[in-house]
A = this chain, B = another copy of it.
Amino acid sequence: MALTGVTRPGHIQIRVLDLDESVTFYTEVVGLVETGRDSQGRVYLKTYEERDHHSVILRQAPEAGMDFIGFKVLNEATLDQLEKNLQDYGVSTSRLPAGDLLETGERVRFELPTGHQVELFATKKILGNPLGDFNPKPYNPGLDKGIAPVRFDHALLYGPNVNDALALLTDVLGFHLTEYVTLPDTDIKGALWLACSNKAHDIAFVEHPEPGRFHHVAFLMDSWEKVQRAADIMATYDVPVDIGPTRHGITRGGTIYAWDPSGNRFETFQGGLAPYPDWGPVRWDWNGLGAGGGLDVAKRMLHDTFLTVLT
């Protein structure tokens, strides 16, 4: 098989301070579609175009941040095999029952060395989207609601032991390293971009002393013009912007970083490279991250917030 094992980021559960306000934000401003609520009060969302039942889950909590990120694997046999491989690697895993997340099968949960909860799952209801899958039209007014991203694309996580996470994700789960940044005056990798596909990245990490911290969830935009439109919408709805519009040198994607009402950062990401595993990673040093435009091609600086503002 060509696409096997872990195929994509499937969902991310985000903690928000005020659920109603957040649902309004993610549906009206970001333009996601609510697809369900569960008995715990969690709200399930997807982009207009996504076919899976949900990709973003909001949970009200006293502190913002990410509860977990889930990756969809090819099928249940793959799930079983990867669970075993994780255990063989020395990773503790647990099973969450089917239905714990709406329309989702059993999930295998484990903790990364960075302190993040990650889970694998094989089954989730495919809802489809209003464009349909028979002679679909290229347009639908719903496609334009709010910022209107194409899909949940990736997340950037902060925590310790990113190189241990790298080993686990590459050796056990088949990710490949697409780009990395070395820490100042060392060859030690301090920031990592990894893919389980030919995307620029499906998940990324920055070395940080506190475990389990959340930098941002990213949504894919169709074009640089849609990133400009996202900035217009952010201005109209008073969404605070962190960085951008600009291009990341790393991944070469167009971007805006902004904050949701709870202080969770989200990204509107566009374009970017489509690297293959055998190319080997692109390497950046610490200076390249800042002055070299790795973070921000236009400003060429390491914005303070990049390293300090987390949830």
Contact = CB atoms under 8 A, between A and B. Distances in A.
Contact of A223 (B135, B225, B238): B225
A115 to B, nearest CB: 23
Contacts of A168: none
A235 interface: yes
A139 B271 CA distance: 15
Contacts of A294: 135
A174 interface: yes
Interface stretch (A102-110, A184-192, A278-286): A278-286
Contact of A245 (B223, B234, B246, B252): B246
Contact of A138 (B1, B256, B274, B297): B297
A138 B2 contact: no
A243 to B, nearest CB: 9
A161 interface: no
A140 B236 contact: yes
Contact of A176 (B3, B196, B233, B238): B3
A300 interface: yes
A224 interface: yes
Nearest to A173: B2
A222 B272 CA distance: 9
Interface string A196-210: 111100000000000
Interface stretch (A4-12, A35-43, A87-95): A4-12
A236 B252 CA distance: 13
B3 A293 contact: no
A229 interface: yes
Contact of A235 (B151, B249, B279): B249
A-B pairs, top 4 by smallest CB distance, nearest first, are A2-B196, A135-B288, A1-B174, A139-B232
Interface of A: 1-8, 51, 72, 74, 126, 133-141, 144-145, 151, 173-176, 195-199, 222-225, 228-229, 231-236, 238, 241, 244-247, 249, 252, 254, 256, 271, 274, 276-285, 287-288, 292-294, 297-300
